[in-house]
Amino acid sequence: MATGQGGNNQTGPGGGLGHVGLQIAKGGGYLGIELGSTRIKACLIGPDGAVWATGASDWENHYQDGLWTYGLDEVWTGLQASYAALARDVIRRHGTELRRCRAIGISAMMHGYLAFDSAGELLAPFRTWRNTNTAPAAAALSELFEFNIPLRWSVAHLYQAALDGEAHMPAVDFITTLAGYVHWQLTGRKVIGVGDGSGMFPIDSAAGDWDGAKLALFDRLGAVARPLRELLPEIKLAGQEAGTLTAAGAARLDPAGLLEAGIALCPPEGDAGTGMVATNAIAPRTGNVSVGTSIFAMVVLDKALARPHPELDLVTTPAGDPVAMVHCNNGASELGAWAALFGEFAQALGAGEAGAAPAGAGGARPEAGVAPDRVFEILFQAALAGDPDGGGLLAYNLLSGEPVVELAEGRPLVARTPDSRLTLGNFARVQIYAVFAALALGMKVLASEDVTIEAMYGHGGIFKTPDLAERLAAAAIGAPVGVAPSAAEGGAWGIALLARYLEAREEGLSLAEFLDRIVFAGAAVRVTAPVSQDVAGFAAFLERYQAGLAIERAAVAAI
């Protein structure tokens, strides 16, 4: 697999540009940018998928007037900082400036609500996937469509705004996702990748477009003044033409003025789709599990499900194939917070170095302590040495509401009985188990539909340390978990690959063929099968987790 850093060709004979530097100078790279929940990452790759340079900036959502949001000014500040960091990395590694590339891709966290008027002005603060105020709308639409509409989907937000009689509704002219918004601002084109679009409104996979019958059903509600199709972006499949970078878009992304206009952009995609691409999990009966601020599993279906399930989203791959998605709002943030605490404690004991910086799996970042990656490694090693069931301890990672367990709000908790075994290993194990608990409940629904899963691939920083997280993930999912060397590259790498696929599609390759033949050929994927005692231990924990949900509800009411 071509995921090398490309750093050994920085200079050529006599101090000139090396091979990669010359390619960058000629505009030969492919740029991907993904706006995640806590970081905005940029990645420049070569034609074979090798990473040439990276950059990132941090940001954080705000809880404002009862809703989770980001300001649009923060979107652009973060994008510019991420791109500038990438440009500096290009100079540092390769001795040349980044002025042009062959294609660009934009990705972001899926779902949510961005509504604009006919002048392109934002009508209401951006409502992210994390909000759970849309229960009445989601329930009504699910019944109307006979199709599960999750709380976080864009159409649920739109209809909830109509049900609530929000003043901005008559002025709505366009709704989109975060990736769709950024793409629109860079190109002037109101388009969206089918995978990202499938988190806005149901997709007809056979047609590669919005589900026309369900659009007609929605229009009969009279919730908006115009047909819903006119408010939605145009659907694009992976590899299809989606516009070019305008002069205004180039200046907005790179205020330094070096980036040239005219670069092709691939369809904007959601983080679920880029995770599938980054793990080569787009073939039927394969899937991936992505762990970050949220956690979700994607399984590509080879047959239709018998009936709708509230635990499952029906979305698509970036190529438009149907996917069952189990999405949980709460991922590794609470684990990251505990890791930060242990890092600070280690610093207080005199271990490590002051100022150890960046975050680990959940985004928390101690001001001082041992290196975060080392803290996570120690915690995972301790967890594997703990009791299979976590010694009777119970942990919840619920920082926000979790629809899978029917909670509108969450409270992170640790509980135990007097006879439980409170050890570092058991504490670490149940914190990791908690990351996968709600997901495991959703995966049980897939199992009840006899959905075959031949391979699941791990994705995200939690899988960075070999043979640790995937063992407990395999126990929770009940299937082998593979982790490729690209697992920690992230969605920015995945959307850069989709930018590269613009050319591969013109050459006649399907997305699966492109990934198999060019990107993942010869990939050394490490696969971890479930260990019987871990499976039994996680099952005992999960039973305890379900029984203890009453504690969560009481905590929400009390705190």
SS (H, E, C) 79-138: HHHHHHHHHHHHHHHHCCCCCCCCEEEEEECCCCEEEECCCCCECCCCECCCCCCCHHHH
Alpha-carbon distance 454 to 442, whole Å? 17
Question: Tens digits of per-residue pLDDT, 78-130?
Answer: 999 999 999 999 999 999 999 999 999 999 999 999 999 999 999 999 999 98
What pLDDT shows up at residue 360?
45
Q: Quick check: helix, strand or coil at residue 214?
A: helix
450 CB contacts (<8 Å, ≥6 apart)?
none
What pLDDT shows up at residue 98?
97
What pLDDT shows up at residue 486?
66
231 alpha carbon, distance to own chain's centre: 25
- Class of the CATH-defined domain 333-483+529-558: alpha beta
Q: Does 245 or 400 have the greater pLDDT score?
A: 245
Instruction: Judge if pTM exceeds 0.85.
Output: no
User: Which two three-digit tokens encode residue 181?
Assistant: 């918004």
Strands of 474-528, DSSP E: 481-483, 526-528
Helix pair 135-145, 212-219: axis angle to 10 deg = 120
What pLDDT shows up at residue 364?
45
Interstrand relation of 51-58 and 39-45 (parallel, antiparallel or unpaired): antiparallel
Question: Tens digits of per-residue pLDDT, 277-322?
Answer: 998 888 888 888 888 888 989 999 988 888 888 888 899 999 999 9
Helix pair 532-547, 424-448: axis angle to 10 deg = 90
Residue position matching structure tokens 């629809």:
403
Residue position matching structure tokens 């709380």:
151
Question: Tens digits of per-residue pLDDT, 329-340?
Answer: 899 999 999 999
Alpha-carbon distance 291 to 275, whole Å? 10
Question: Tens digits of per-residue pLDDT, 367-391?
Answer: 445 888 899 999 999 999 999 999 9
Question: Residue 400's closest CA among 540, 550, 310, 295?
Answer: 295
Give the mean model confidence (pLDDT) for residues 410-415: 96
What pLDDT shows up at residue 353?
52
Judge whether residue 354 has pLDDT over 70. Answer: no
- Average pLDDT of the residues of the chain: 91
Q: Is residue 487 very low, low, confident or very high in pLDDT (cuts 50, 70, 90)? A: low
Give the mean model confidence (pLDDT) for residues 498-527: 91
Give the mean model confidence (pLDDT) for residues 181-195: 98
Judge whether residue 8 has pLDDT over 70. Answer: no
User: What is the amino acid identity at position 250?
Assistant: A
Q: Is residue 10 very low, low, confident or very high in pLDDT (cuts 50, 70, 90)? A: low
Question: Residue 387's closest CA among 201, 541, 160?
Answer: 541
Q: Of how many residues is the chain composed? A: 559
DSSP 481: E
Among the residues of 260-417, which ranges form H helices? 271-278, 333-348, 372-385
Question: Tens digits of per-residue pLDDT, 438-470?
Answer: 999 999 988 899 888 887 888 777 887 777 888
What pLDDT shows up at residue 369?
53
**Which H helix or E strand runs over 550?**
helix 549-558
**Do 185 and 249 touch, CB atoms closer than 8 A?**
yes
DSSP states along 380-402: HHHHHHS-TTGGG-EEE--SS-B
φ, ψ for residue 178, nearest 5 deg: -65, -45
Judge whether residue 17 has pLDDT over 90. Answer: no
Q: Is residue 477 very low, low, confident or very high in pLDDT (cuts 50, 70, 90)? A: confident
